[in-house]
Amino acid sequence: MKFLIVGLGNPGAKYAHTRHNIGFEILDDLAIEEGVVFVSDRYADISRFKARGKQFVMIKPSTYMNNSGKAVNYWMQKEKINSNNLLVVLDDVALDQGVIRIKPQGSAGGHNGLSDIISTLKTTAVPRLRFGIGNNYAKGYQVEYVLSRWSSEEKEALVTRIKLAGQAIKHFAFHGLNNTMNEFNNK
């Protein structure tokens, strides 16, 4: 069984460690935990590991957030992974910082990366792990907020939540989407 785990973010130092790149950070943390590294490949940085008989293919698209669908579609085809074994990890301003919500499908909720994936795959049935980044910004300043970096206090508070998101990703492969939703959506 092979799973494609997609962390959404933007490549480059300019965007590193911003709220919008939490998908990259969650996958980076999981890669460290599993003792693997990301390497640059077509449309994405990619890393692989095996656990309990499952193969994990993790990608961080290098296509920039608004064109994430191109990378997702390419790697789904290349690795022959169907959408049931896809999990997109993304930031969500509608959730308080560190809150995790796993859903099997739905609208993009205003997230341009997820919107492009839905449009490219031509389905809203895209399993996703939404990670709350909060919405502590003034009206009209959402872009500046999501592209801002975490404060040192926020980063410290996120450590355990990022680890929990990594556990949820593995749980998704081991136990399925519904079980993972039941286990992690209220933590």
Residues that are catalytic: 20
Under DSSP, is residue 158 helix (H, G, I), strand (E, B) or coil?
A: helix
Q: Which of 153, 183, 157 is nearest to 170 (CA)?
A: 183
Tokens 């590991």 sit at which residue? 49
DSSP-derived secondary structure letter, 9: -
Dihedral, CA of residue 67, residue 70, residue 76 and residue 77, to nearest 10: 180
Close Cβ partners of 170 (under 8 Å, ≥ 6 residues apart)? 30, 51, 56
